[in-house]
Amino acid sequence: MSIRVTRATARRVLEQLRRDRRTLALIAVVPPALLTLLRYILDAERPAFQRIAVPLVGMFPLIIMFLITSIAMLRERTSGTLERLMSLPLSKLDLIAGYAFAFALVAAIQTAVTSAVAFGLLGVSVQGSPALVVALAVANALLGVALGLFLSAFATSEFQAVQFMPAVLLPQILLSGLFVPHDRMPHALRIAADVLPLPYAFDALARVASGIEGGRMQVDVAVVLGTIVAAVALGATTLRRRTP
Amino acid sequence: MTEPAIVVSALRVVRGGRVALHDVDCEVAAGAVTGLLGPSGCGKTTLMRSLVGVQRVDGGSIRILGLPGGSPELRRRVGYMTQAPSVYGDLTVRENLRYFARVVNRLDRVAEVTALVDLGEHAHSLVRDLSGGERSRASLAVALLGAPDLLVLDEPTVGLDPLLRRELWATFHRLADAGAALLVSTHVMDEAERCDRLLLMREGRILAEGTPAELRGRATASTLEEAFVALTEAQ
């Protein structure tokens, strides 16, 4: 692995994103706008909004970075730039880490904007540390990058890639307790939530929001970090130097 | 003459259930421009991909610059230009070159290769706004960045105006004179005439090799085109 190549790649990814002003605007505006919408939809159910607002602030980067990474990697694969990079002195981890750094930075900015709106304007309260919310959101963004990288190998078109979001992420977010806390779900679904990674990410954020961080919080963070490592390792195996 | 830059023996590649390369044997000399000539679909690209280590191969051996094909060290010493321009459309020419230059650690070469492919005026244009020929020149510039000992160029001059094409061929010969080996695929006969040596390829096999004059002589043909036809029919 080379720091020079990783930095160069992160910089290149950010340069590409910088050219795409509309995407940047969507990244900054959509999460706070959705949160505001939800605040007024749940106007008569303020406790319900309080319960899910902080987890949502931290889950948006996961969803968005998952989508952006899947499409970006698919483009690298189909445009021939991946083939060119694989013929150059660049390790797979340089490429992955380059993407991860670039998108983590974008996610940090996104979360800062969303948090400012949520905590400043919408009256969302956090018992724990708001900085921890941002840190968890960035970890979630990395999880999104890692999962997007891995799953993009199974998509042969952008149409397929975008549908991995509702297929893979959405069920996990619903199981996390978006509508119904997951201890009120049927037993089988509680087991499903226990073996999937996103409910842990959601739970960590909910704990920071309510200030009950305790022992389970460490498990949550360990699962998120472990899944990032596993998905990066699996993703790296899908980046083949030699292709058929 | 020193050791050949490329020695391929009994190279076999199967793609999608079809044999793309049938036990290919060939050599490419250092300090010369070798043309890889053949119709589209004959296996030129598969052979080139095998040489630069991005093609899964099913048999045979490849030695490049004295090392086994696909060795990590070769990635610093071999420049490869894919057939479709593989540069980022949403970056400028200069941003593309600076990125790939950082990867190969040759930022000092950016200005030089930009001038070589005559893209100075377009350095600040987004690649997606360029014409097809300009885009492939940007892609060629990337391949030249590392000042490689071996250049593998897959149809580098498609869609270029004749003047620029002549200049690029002069550049190829200058690089060869300086000691580099170049393998350039083409299906344009007048380009084949400019090569020091030729490999004629058809249906996954090397049909003939030699200098353009030798090939014409062997087929008692006055042009390479006729030679190609005669050598194919003689099979």
Please report where in the chains the tokens 């929001």 appear, as a residue.
A209
Nearest beta carbon to residue B90 from set A16, A83, A86: A16
* The CATH classification of domain B6-233, taken from the options 3.50.30.50, 3.40.50.300, 3.40.47.10, 3.30.2290.10: 3.40.50.300
Contacts of B78 in chain A (CB under 8 A): 87
Contact between B60 and B13 under an 8 Å Cβ cutoff? The reply is no
Q: Could you read off the pLDDT of A162-182 as tens digits, one per residue? A: 999 999 999 999 999 888 887
For the entire predicted model, the pTM comes to 0.90
Of A79, A90, A241, the CB nearest to B103: A90
User: Nearest to residue B33, comparing CAs of B146, B157, B118?
Assistant: B157
Domain ranges of chain B: 6-233
Q: Which ranges of chain A have pLDDT less than 70?
A: none
Strand-strand pairing, B33-37 and B59-64: unpaired
Q: Which of A93-97, A210-214, B51-55, B61-65 has the lowest mean pLDDT?
A: A210-214
Q: What is the pLDDT of residues B154-196, one digit of tens each?
A: 999 887 888 888 888 999 999 999 999 999 998 888 889 999 9
Q: What are phi and psi of B41, to 5 degrees?
A: 90, 5
Residues of A in contact with B70 (CB under 8 A): 241-242
Q: Return the percent helix, strand and coil in chain B, to nearest 5.
A: 40, 25, 35
pLDDT tens digits along A103-154: 999 999 999 999 999 999 999 989 989 899 999 999 999 999 999 989 998 9
Token pair for B61: 């051996």
Tokens read off for B91:
């970056």
Interface of A with B (CB under 8 A): 4-5, 7-9, 11-12, 15-16, 19-20, 79-81, 83-90, 241-244
Q: Are A9 and B99 a contacting pair at CB < 8 A? A: yes
pLDDT in tens, B123-153: 999 999 999 889 989 999 999 999 899 999 9
Q: Helices marked H in A116-238 — which ranges?
A: 130-152, 158-164, 170-175, 187-195, 198-210, 214-238
Partner-chain residue, chosen from B72, B86, B95, that has the shortest CB–CB distance to A84: B86
User: Could you report how far apart the first and last alpha carbons of chain B are, in Å?
Assistant: 31
What is the ipTM for the molecules in this complex?
A: 0.90
CA–CA dist A146, A69 (Å, integer): 8
Q: Is the CB of B54 less than 8 angstroms away from the CB of A241?
A: yes
Sketch the domain layout of chain A as residue ranges: 3-238
What residues form DSSP beta bridges with B13? B21
B17 backbone dihedrals φ, ψ, rounded to 5°: 80, -5
Question: Using 50, 70 and 90 to split pLDDT, how confident is the model at B233?
Answer: confident
CA–CA dist B168, B161 (Å, integer): 11
pLDDT of residue B123: 96
Note the pLDDT of residue B59: 94
| Token representation of residue A64 | 């968005």
Cα A198 from chain centroid (whole Å) = 10
B192: helix, coil or strand? helix
